[in-house]
Every structure is written in structure tokens, then in C-alpha cells.
Amino acid sequence: MEGYGFPPRLAPREQRGGWWPTRDVGSLNAAGSLTLAGRIDDCFKTASGYLVNPGEITNVLMSHPAVSDVVILPLASSAGADIGALVESDGAVDLDTLHAAVARTLPPWLHPQRLAVTEKLPRLTGGKPDRAACRALMLGGTD
């Protein structure tokens, strides 16, 4: 890491059960394979009090062949945060099909209350989705 501002000798990080603690969220299957599902920093609580990991919802929506990218956002409602999902697709995507995929795979508290499709997600200059612009797009036109 020389040249990246790190000291030449870093103190060893604390291990927990053989794992290095990070801000990543994942799950281990029975075979011991780790599947990453996002970052704890991206999680938010819904109006009903459930903690939402956007990565879980993103993975389900990304499994649709016409979906090229997804942004999951907390959207303000009168009762608290709703789950919003803005899906990027250059083809025709039926919202009912997306809702059905989510309903088959995820528990009810992870179902997006607002789901919208756009040809191109708004992006920052670095290429990442512009979450503020996505939120504005979601609030301006949802199903």
C-alpha cells in the first residue's frame, strides 16, 4: 500500500471468529460460502420499524434479465420511510413481474412500496447512481 498514505506498518486488526470485521453485510450458506449483500451504511429503517438492507432487494430485482441496474432508497411518507426501487432497463419491464419476483423471494417488509422503471439512472460524473436525483425521479413519477 506504499504511496497510498498508509503507514508502512499497520497494527493488526481485531479478528472475530477468524473473520475481519467490516461494514459489509452478507450471509454464509451451509457450505460456508459468503454472499455479500451490501453495506451496513446503506441500511435504513422503514415506517414499520424494519431494518432494510438494500442489497437484498437489489439482488432480486437484478435477477430479471431486462434489468441493468437498481437503486433502492428510503422515501419519506407520512408514516415514515417507504422503500423505493428505481430500476434501469433499456427494454420493456412489466412492473407486475418485478413485484411478483420480490413477493416470491423476499419477506413482505422488504417489498418496495414504490417501484419505477427508467431507461437510464441519473449518474454522478464517476458513474455511480446519483441517489438524490434518483430520489427526485422517484418522487416525481411512481406507480
> 3-state class of 85 per DSSP?
strand
Domains, in order of start, for the chain: 43-140 (3.30.300.30)
Average pLDDT of the segment spanning 129-140 = 92
Comparing 27-36, 79-88, 120-129, the range with the smallest average pLDDT is: 27-36
Return d(Cα 126, Cα 108) in angstroms, integer.
Answer: 34
pTM of the model: 0.70
Match 457450505 to its residue by C-alpha cell: 31
pLDDT tens for residues 80-123?
A: 789 999 999 988 888 999 999 999 999 999 999 999 999 999 99
